[in-house]
Amino acid sequence: MSAFDEVTADDSALDALGRGEAAPEGDRLLGMLATWRADLAEGEGAPAIRPAVPVTEDVPDVAEVLPLAPRRHRRRRMLVAAAAAAVLAAGISGVAAAGSARPGDTLWPVTKLVYSDRAASVQAEIATERALRRAETAAAEGRTAEAAEHLATADEQLGRVTSSDAAKRLRERADRLRENDQRVVVPPAPGTTPKPPAGGTAPARPTPSGPVDNPGDNPGDPGNQGGGDKGKDKGRDKVPATRTASVTTTPVLPGNGNGNGHGRNRDQDTAPLVERASPAATVLTTPAQHAVTKPRGQRPASPRRATPPLTIRTLGHAPTSTHTSF
Amino acid sequence: MFGEDALTELASRAAAGDSQATADLLTQLRPMIVRYCRARLGRVGGGFVTADDVAQEVCLAVLAALPRYRDMGRPFAAFVFGIAGHKVTDAHRAATRALQVAPVESVPERPDTDVGPEGRALAADLSRQLTALLDRLSPAHREIILLRVAVGLTAEETGVALGMKPGAVRVAQHRALARLRAFAEEEVTA
């Protein structure tokens, strides 16, 4: 076989292999080449590629679907808006509902935050109620001093109640309590009652049936013209001072203080003054001083406000709000 | 296979915008391109997936280049396998880049270099042996064998694709086969 024949033979053999034909028997290399070729063509029978012809049938579907997309979007947006509106409405109504919340309610913190004025009023209302209840209980059990103390607290708290309904209701209740238990409440009636002797003689005569003064019923009482509960409180503050003054025989006495309102602790009052004076004098000196110093600044300027509308005989338990020494 | 004229004529019609001709052209070209890429790249990672991906890229590149193709006396196969050759080279470059050393905190786990039973069975495979033999050929000879056997081009088409005269292709393929036979003898005796 010439060299040319060998070249031609190889050429035709490669052509056959290239067409994917089997290799002739006996030639190991050509057999390997044929196997290699078959290996490379692995999986060739599978659908190779999609036809490159443009697809026309699917187009209507696409045209149908396209307008749907924005509509779905719009619906979702509306859902979101509705949800937001619902949340907003819930929040607003919650805050609005918080306006009438009371301590212990779920919305009470909201009330304190948003309606702080109303919250303070509600708290004062509750405090007033509590004080009134205690006063009633104390009065019913005969602890008159305690009852008077609670009543004073109630008056003080009542001044902070802004709700007119509640204030009216509570004031009526307090008034009723004063009327019911005349021994607790002694009318000051400063204009009508005689002044106590300012000297060393203590007002030893108990007047259990002293005129009961309901501040609202006494138009002539100058202390009422200020109209404030605080005015009442202030006036009452002075009472122990007055009383102390008479006990301790301090000459410095406010001019219109009165000592005739001893309706209550009759037993105490009837006790020898000397005995009582010794412990009480030390204790009550502070209020006395208080009463002395106070008029210096205030009394001459506004004598009207100084008149105590009520006189409460509470020697040991004078309204304690200003008595830090207790 | 099909005639050189048929493929070139199909390509001319496809370049003119005949979609049916484009479909037929791709249907005929793709197996050739796939075999070419598989022959060049082998089983990367145990399968032809990488080679087939490259083949897909070659098909896309051919489609993209189709409007630029004008029948200028050159067979279309030469045009296609010029593109395919470049794409395979690109794939090799990309693989090289991906293999570049990147600093890591810990030494990564290495695959077991022992071939194992399946690997030994595969190594015993004839086509594996042939791939090893082909690797020992010169690049020019390897490309000729590849185009002639794997793709199935004629000596004339191979010559056009590689810029050689058909006679030179025939002589070169003869020498390549002779060398392969010699390598195969070495393998057997070794």
Higher pLDDT, A91 or A197: A91
Q: Which amino acid is at A250?
A: T
Q: How confident is the model at residue A125 (pLDDT cuts 50, 70, 90)?
A: confident
pLDDT digit string (tens) for A19-78?
A: 888 878 888 888 888 888 887 777 665 555 555 555 555 544 444 444 445 555 667 788
Query: What pLDDT does residue B108 have?
Result: 67
Residues of B in contact with A29 (CB under 8 A): 177, 180-181, 184
Is the CB of B34 less than 8 angstroms away from the CB of A44?
yes
Q: How confident is the model at residue B174 (pLDDT cuts 50, 70, 90)?
A: very high
Best mean pLDDT range from A203-207, A282-286, B79-83? B79-83
User: In angstroms, what separates the C-alpha of B78 from chain A's closest C-alpha?
Assistant: 16
pTM of the model: 0.40
Residues 20 to 49 of A: which have CB under 8 A from any B CB? 20, 28-29, 31-33, 35-37, 39-44, 48-49
B32, B34, B35: best to mutate for the A interface, most A CBs within 10 A: B35
Rounded mean pLDDT, A153-172: 81
| A16 in B contact zone (CB under 8 Å) | no
| B153 in A contact zone (CB under 8 Å) | yes
CA B81 – CA B148 distance, rounded (Å): 12
User: In angstroms, what separates the C-alpha of B32 from chain A's closest C-alpha?
Assistant: 9
Query: What pLDDT does residue A2 have?
Result: 77
ipTM attached to this prediction: 0.72
